[in-house]
Structure 1
Amino acid sequence: MTSDTTPTILIVPGLRDHVASHWQTLLQQQLPKAASVPPLEHDKLSCAARVAALDAALARIDGPVILVAHSAGVMIAVHWARQHHRKIQGALLAAPADLDTPLPEGYPSLDTLAQNGWHPVPRTPLPFPAIVGASRNDPLAGFERVAQMAHDWGSRLVDLGEVGHLNPAAGFGEWPMARTLIDELAIL
């Protein structure tokens, strides 16, 4: 266990787990005090299993934590927040996937998501400060839908411009703005 006043950055990846060239993976490698929710071996689509994995990762950290979630990882974080009461210093919620509308081909259907516990998506204020980064051209979530999520969660919305899904397929390995937004959360 680690303990001091510097927050640990806990990476919460989406359904595709860890990708070597993803900004979250690169960020974890660059930060002196960072950890990640490990990939699941079984029940990869189970919301409950992913929430439990996040909770287990948090249990290994002593001291302040900032969550850095992307895509469905954002939904994992908001489902976790509805069920658990550990103090979180803040969260960067980047390019949340809209799991209430049909996703593009190659992603789970709404029925599959519902069967695996993703619905309903929590729409109540989060118990910690959060910054929601929204893309103007994300194929997994419209800007207005993400803006409404941010409002419902009591979070600050940051317009990221046209960054696609903020992943390697959209041209993102490094994402320097993540550090800036994390620094804002670290001083809260």
Structure 2
Amino acid sequence: MTPRVLVLPGWLGSGPDHWQSRWEVLYGDQRVEQHDWETPRRGDWMARLEEVLLQDNRPALLVAHSLGCILTAAWAAHSQNTARVLGALLVAPGDTEDPDLGPQLPSWAPIVRQPLPFSSILVGSRNDPYCRFDKARELATTWGSRFVDLGERGHINAESGLGDWRAGRDLLDELILKA
């Protein structure tokens, strides 16, 4: 059975030039649409992910960016349906515990820190304005994720100039092969 790919954008969603949006067009990945992209509530986003996951019996791969990474960890700690997930590609986690970012996302701290019950790869950038490199590496260790250093690519979003980000898709393919 071919797994489906669920795209989990971060705060404010992913615009048309973001690699996640491009993957939806190129590969038919399915975005988990949230009810409120501007004022995200952790419980609401977790419930929405659960709802979308249960709409289809096929196994899923999660492709999370920024707040979507924090969502993945929170959801995995509470869901009884984690066996439906084959793996997760976690890109540029947003540090909701940072004193500058946290107040804008009050229901997202503390970040859930327990190993994910599925394979995962976390991709971090050395100059991400929303998460220090050492914090991204620490989250990878905490979640049991393989860590990939992408160098200086900012927040690994549309402004990072990645286009279709084929190298990212190769990482996702690696997760598929492990499953």
Asked if Structure 1 and Structure 2 have the same fold, meaning a TM-score greater than 0.5 normalized by the shorter chain, the answer is yes
Q: Which residue of 2 is the match for residue 113 of structure 1? A: 105
- 2:1 matches 1:8: no
Which residue type is aligned with residue 182 of structure 1? Answer: L
Deviation at 1:85, TM superposition (A): 2.3
- Given that 1:15 and 1:45 are in contact with CA atoms closer than 8 Å, whether structure 2 keeps it comes out as yes
Deviations 1:91-117 (A, max 9, x none): 0000111111134xxxxx423423xx2
- Given that 1:69 and 1:91 are in contact with CA atoms closer than 8 Å, whether structure 2 keeps it comes out as yes
Deviation at 1:41, TM superposition (A): 4.2
Deviations 1:13-46 (A, max 9, x none): 00111311110010111114x2110132488321
Unaligned runs of 5+ in 1: 104-108
Select the residue among 87, 91, 97 that pairs with 1:90.
87
Which residue type is aligned with residue 7 of structure 2? Answer: I
Q: 2-side partners of 1:43 and 1:133: how far apart?
A: 24
**Structure holding more helix per residue:** 2
Q: 1:136 to 1:11 in 2, by over 3 A?
A: same
- Given that 1:132 and 1:158 are in contact with CA atoms closer than 8 Å, whether structure 2 keeps it comes out as yes
Q: TM-score, normalised by structure 2?
A: 0.92
- Given that 2:95 and 2:102 are in contact with CA atoms closer than 8 Å, whether structure 1 keeps it comes out as no
Q: 1:83 to 1:31 in 2, by over 3 A?
A: same
Which residue type is aligned with residue 16 of structure 2? Answer: A
- Given that 1:43 and 1:49 are in contact with CA atoms closer than 8 Å, whether structure 2 keeps it comes out as no
SS at match of 1:187: helix
Q: 2-side partners of 1:67 and 1:58: how far apart?
A: 10
Deviation at 1:185, TM superposition (A): 0.5
Unaligned runs of 5+ in 2: none
Deviation at 1:61, TM superposition (A): 2.2
Which residue type is aligned with residue 56 of structure 2? Answer: I
Q: How many residues align?
A: 176
Which residue type is aligned with residue 138 of structure 1? Answer: D
Q: 2-side partners of 1:100 and 1:41: how far apart?
A: 21
SS at match of 1:69: strand
Select the residue among 131, 145, 163 that pairs with 1:173.
163
Select the residue among 169, 173, 179 that pairs with 1:183.
173
Q: Which residue of 2 is the match for residue 40 of structure 1? A: 35
- Given that 2:11 and 2:38 are in contact with CA atoms closer than 8 Å, whether structure 1 keeps it comes out as no
- Given that 2:11 and 2:37 are in contact with CA atoms closer than 8 Å, whether structure 1 keeps it comes out as no
- 2:62 matches 1:67: yes
Q: 2-side partners of 1:70 and 1:85: how far apart?
A: 23
CA RMSD of aligned residues (A): 1.6
